[in-house]
Structure 1
Amino acid sequence: MAAGRGEFFSSLLLGLERTSAPRTTGTRQPSGGRGKPGSARGLPGTGGGRVDRWRRKKEPKERRLPSEILLKILSYLDASSLLCVGHVSKLFHRLGDDDVTWQKIYTSEFMSQTWKPKSAGDEEDEEEEEEEDRSAGRWKKMYFRAMVGQEVTKWRKELSEISPSTGLPTQTERVLRNLNVSWELTLRDRRGREVTLAPSRLHFFESSVIVRWSAGGFPARYRDIGGIRLHGVRRERRSHETRKPGWRSLMLKLDLKTRPPRFIGADRLVRLVHLSPGFIIGIWRGQDSVAFIMVSLHFHQLVEKSLLGSPVCPYTEPADRLPPADHRDPEFGLHGYTLHFVLHNTGSEIMSGHFRQLSCRADRFRRGLVELTVVNRADPSQHRSLSGSIKLPWKSDALEGSVENCCIMTSTLLDEFQKPFWCVSSPVCVTTAKAPPPRCFDYSGEHFAMGHRSPDGEVRMTLVWLKEQKQFFLVSLAVYVALYKLNERFGRKF
């Protein structure tokens, strides 16, 4: 039936047009001039065109097929086709919500054909539900509610397997690909005009994905962009001849007036600006036009954010307040935390580490932040080398390049119950730092700093460039979590 659906609707609309066409006779149409037959004296306006328009208003409405026949035709459609028909006109929207049609679809999909005896309590509950849901569209709502619930249960079961190193589901990438999830970017200019772009390339990693848009369609000038919206979109797998619009789930909505971008690097072709939380915009040097846009998305709750939000409202993660038992003691304050930390670009990992048993004494809670020391500068056994150079490859429609001293940081902080507590995936850049005072063990190379800052916390890194080895060494790493997040998570008042 799906193969001939387009021809069916075309013939249906053609028949409606033929039925509603006014009948014409061989007599000459009366003229609307003054003193001639057919003139309308006393009517507002004596011009022929105005009189004809007035007469057309008085003519009976266009004839169409009876609603009973249209309902019979629509009853042969499947659920997705019936939903699309509802967008044709107000008439089809009303007919597409017919309870009898949707009841048949719901019964054929979900209700068992075998008879089961019901208790008196079940019958009373059903009567109460029927009284509450007698409004139009009841069975349509029940159908989509059941469809969503059935599918959500299935992919959530697939996401139940947790990686011991990251604390995240191991099958996130596979679930996203199986559900045919993609991400669309909507750009709004200063005049309110909008353009929606499909992604050009996806780069999957162990705990994040980088989405890139570089196929053109950007506003003429970068400064014309007033707002950005990111939607998760799931499209049905169909042939290229019939492509239906997918469900859109709002994930991010940014206003460039209230959230100005920050310069993070450049090469001979483009300069990069960072738009918090994870957007990178490449702008052609010497011009004001956009070359590409990238965003880094953390895997934590990514499937839910991409599917369960509405087109205008993002998905809200349910409160997961854990018991505060043994969470604070006089000696440690916090203990048993774990950090999975990765530096990478669009093609490869630069550094990856898994750090366990992180702790913080109660007297280190300062300025509303909780400090967790991950790599201690005074302990050389904790220092790590970075493989390769720090750079961020990019690609536009026709050109490509690489920006030095810029990459992506993906950080996953797990609490003492090994549950994700603070997850970040954001671009970072290398800046010059002052060398610290000499200690028992130190490097003689040039010192650099990298970091990330947001209302939820900070990440601070210190790097040393060793000229002989021609590589960076990570000599210190600390995570600072906002105290309010800790209080919200455990219901405490630190």
Structure 2
Amino acid sequence: MEETLSNLCCKCSEEEIWKAVTTILGDGDAKQWKRDCIKRCVNVRNGRVQSLLKKVHPYTGLPAHTQQAVQKLGVSWQLVVTERSSKETILPQNDVFFFPMSATVRWYSLESLPLRNLKRLTVYGLAPVFYGSDGNAMKTSPCQRSLLLQHDLDRSKWSSGRSPDGQDNTVDIYILGHGLMLATWKEGGGLAFVSLSLHSHQLVQRSTMGTSDSMYIPKLSKPPFDDVDTQYGLHGYSCTIELRNQRAVYWGQQFQQLHCDKQNLVGRYARLVPIRSDVTYDHSHTNKKIHMPWKTDVFKGIVQDMCILDVTLHDDQCQPMWCISTPVTLNPSTEAQVNYHYEGDNYFIDYKDDMGQIHMQLIWVEEREQYAIVSVILDVSLTAINIWYGTSY
């Protein structure tokens, strides 16, 4: 039977394997063989993931066919809303949009659950197990859950009246971290929608190769050590940055050969400066005013001064080192600033995580109805650099 199953897995589609195992053993006696069959089919599927993602996009340095791989494998994303009573509501995605470096998944067919009653938001990747002879997922296939994130809603923060990160006349929007954003109705405080920004780096692996209880953990591939280079780990970076909403890109640019000399370290950070404020030819413009459209089954609106920040920082071996896809806000600057090249209100975008921090400065140019991006600073944690390169700065 072992040899027969191996031959089936090599030669037949998953649908044919399943039918063959059931026919040979019968429904009642086939449990273990069915488990082995599922395991083998999952392994075959995971092997296909690697082949589908082999080609690298020359601009982003990320897999060129992430969207096609997701569609070919039939991957989707599921939101589980857990109430404080432990009741769970399972919600399939309403839509997903792909961008050069990321994807945004939205859930907006929601019951109007009061936020104060919610305990946890959990997102899973759903990957079908069985595929037909054409290579596409079977419509009736069971799906394997892969944990992407789990966010506990701290009751004390909400009860103390946390201020929203963005709002319009209808909804309040809160940025929860790790790309997760939720909105509540101003009237009643019920859950209006949830969205998740997902960076493309190993997205398909994270959505297919984890389990329902644990996330997929990739193997770290460290660059080769160079004990001759006195600035090892401080140069040779490239970075691609985009500002977008959930449907369209406002601005994007790539920066090559970023570096930081030892004498220019800022505290425990290596400072990389893709756009210098005092060099006008570094500056660029967005294509329009930045805002975040939203929708539910019944309503839609626009929240101003809010967008999604996508960042990919590659090391000197062109390996993705720092990957970000997160909602951010444009905050008006409270400092008096004079700029001789642009006349308008100053804004900034700040982001911080364990890998480092990002600061962007923008000026709203009224006559062009665009933002001028006049400064971008990436501070990469020396701790992260030391772990990545095996250095000791």
CA distance in 2, matches of 1:375, 1:83: 66
- Alignment partner of 1:298 is 2:199: yes
What residue in structure 1 maps to residue 351 of structure 2?
452
Match in the other structure for 2:53:
159
Structure 1: distance between partners of 2:139 and 2:264: 60
Counterpart check, 1:215 vs 2:106: no
Kindly indicate which of the two structures has a greater share of residues assigned to helix: 1
Distance 1:346 1:76 in 2: 40
Query: Take 1:365 and 1:343, find their aligned partners in 2: how far apart are those partners?
Result: 27
User: 1:465: which partner in 2?
Assistant: 364
Q: Distance in 1 between matches of 2:80 and 2:329?
A: 26
Counterpart residue type for residue 230 of structure 2? D
Following superposition, the deviation at residue 228 of structure 1 comes to 1.1
Deviations 1:79-108 (A, max 9, x none): 5899996xxxxxx4xx3335xxx3xx9xxx
Partners of 2:68 and 2:148 in 1: CA distance: 20
8 Å Cα contact 1:180-1:237 kept in structure 2: no
Give how far 1:259 is off.
10
**Larger displacement relative to structure 2 (418-427 or 185-194):** 185-194
Which of 217, 226, 234 is the equivalent residue of 2:119?
A: 226
Structure-to-structure mapping, 1:27-426, within 5 angstroms: 77-79=19-21, 92=28, 95-98=29-32, 102=33, 140-141=35-36, 143-217=37-111, 220-235=113-128, 243-257=140-154, 263-325=164-226, 329=230, 334-426=234-326
Query: How has the CA–CA distance of structure 1 residues 159 and 327 changed in structure 2, closer, same or farther, with 3 Å as cutoff?
Result: farther
Distance 1:397 1:385, change over 3 A: same
Give the alignment of 1:469-488 within 5 angstroms: 469-488=368-387
In the TM superposition, what is the alpha-carbon distance from 1:263 to its structure 2 partner? Answer: 2.4
- Specify the structure having the higher radius of gyration (Cα): 1
Does the Cα contact within 8 Å between 1:327 and 1:333 map onto a contact in 2? Answer: no
Higher strand share: 2
1:333–1:362 Cα contact (<8 Å) kept: no
The 3-state SS of whatever aligns with 1:263 is coil
Structure-2-length-normalised TM-score: 0.86
SS in 2 for 1:154: helix
Q: CA deviation at 1:286?
A: 2.6
Give the residue type in structure 2 aligned to 1:487.
Answer: N
User: Aligned equivalents of 2:224 and 2:198: distance in 1?
Assistant: 29
Which AA in structure 2 matches 1:187? V
Give 1:122's aligned residue: none
The 3-state SS of whatever aligns with 1:254 is strand
* Aligned residues with identical type, % of pairs: 27
Partners of 1:358 and 1:78 in 2: CA distance? 57
Q: Is the 8 A contact 2:315 2:321 kept in 1?
A: yes
Letter in 1 for 2:268: G
Q: Is the 8 A contact 1:298 1:423 kept in 2?
A: yes
- The answer to whether the Cα contact below 8 Å between 1:188 and 1:194 also exists between their aligned partners in 2 is yes
Assess, with a 3 A threshold, how the Cα gap between structure 1 residues 365 and 395 changes in structure 2: closer, same or farther: same
Q: Contact (CA 8 Å) 1:197, 1:217: kept in 2 or not?
A: no
**Residues 364 and 192 of structure 1: CA distance in aligned 2, closer, same or farther (over 3 Å):** farther
TM superposition shift of 1:190: 1.1
Equivalenced residues, count: 368
Cα distance in structure 2, aligned partners of 1:329 and 1:82:
66
What runs of 5+ residues in structure 1 fail to find an aligned partner?
A: 1-74, 86-91, 106-139
C-alpha change, 1:158 and 1:242, in structure 2 (3 Å) is closer
Contact residue 273 and residue 376 of structure 2 kept, 8 A? yes
CA contact (8 A) 2:46 2:209 kept: no
Name the SS for the 1:335 alignment partner.
coil
Could you say what secondary structure the match of 2:235 adopts? strand
Provide, for residues 121-170 of structure 1, a one-character-per-residue CA deviation record: whole Å limited to 9, x for no partner.
xxxxxxxxxxxxxxxxxxx54x4444333332232122111112111000
> How far apart are residue 276 of structure 1 and its match?
0.6
